[in-house]
Amino acid sequence: MSAASYEPGCNAPGGSDTDAGASGPIVVLGIGNVLWSDEGFGVRCVEALQARYEFAPQVRLVDGGTQGLYLLPQVQQASRLLVFDAVDYGMPPGTLKVVADEEVPRFLGARKMSLHQTGFQEVLMLAQLTGRWPERVLLVGCQPEVLDDFGGSLRLVVKQALEGALQVALGHLEQWGAEPLARSVPPGDADAVTAPSLALGAYEDGRPSAEAACRIGDPRVLSMSAGR
């Protein structure tokens, strides 16, 4: 994984990745909030995957953002579900960990990092309760470094880990029959999973300096607070 460490994580009993050619929808879902630096890891993974690869018709790439319960139909309709997310594993920043099948909702419940994970755990539990649970579920998670930089982008160690996460995902997707093929032409703006204005390059290029954005704070207010 070069820049990122990799932990195989948990694998629930039942199911195998040696199921190439499996029929049914394959949903690749990136969740998180791109406005809060490393929390956008999942969305950036799906964005990069779409920018670099084409897939078989049954594959759907989804920017799940922080939609929470609105993602329930995506999960219920999937025969195979691959999720990218930033997850607090208590490991060094940039470490990747893969969790599979029934372990995924239990793991997210034990490692809640933000409200979007609470909502997505509920989505997974509802899918199980309704009996419409994918045959295979895989979570590719990354340990974040920074989460409190509003307007910030992925930190370098997490951006490097993204490359490793894509390779892990591509290996499983190929075994699932997703038929990944390197793109010769990038997707058009109308087909992009992420709004062009929020795509990684445009997002980073358009970020103002800390002084212009007042991310540090007004020195007049800070000095008054210090004098109290």
Task: Return the bridge partners of 136, or none.
Answer: 80
DSSP labels, 55-69 = --TTEEEEEEET-GG
**Which residue type, as a one-letter code, is found at position 227?**
G
Strand, coil or helix: what is 159? helix
Higher pLDDT, 184 or 17: 184
pLDDT digits (tens, 9 = 90+) for 61-111: 999 988 888 889 999 999 999 999 998 888 999 999 999 988 888 777 655
The tokens for 103 are 């372990």
| Whole-number Cα distances in Å, 207 to 25, 196, 202, 210, 214 | 37, 14, 9, 9, 12
Is pTM beyond 0.85? Reply is no
The mean per-residue pLDDT over the stretch 156-161 comes to 96
- For residues 25 and 176, the answer to whether their CB atoms sit within 8 Å is no
**Is the pLDDT assigned to residue 17 strictly greater than 90?**
no
Q: What pLDDT score does 1 carry?
A: 42
Q: What pLDDT score does 13 carry?
A: 33
**Is the pLDDT assigned to residue 12 strictly greater than 90?**
no
**Is the pLDDT assigned to residue 10 strictly greater than 50?**
no
Which of 14-18, 116-120, 122-126, 216-220 shows the lowest per-residue confidence on average (mean pLDDT)?
A: 14-18
Domain 6-227, CATH: 3.40.50.1450
Determine how β-strand 26-31 pairs with β-strand 59-65.
parallel
Rounded distance between C-alpha atoms, residue 117 and residue 105, angstroms: 10
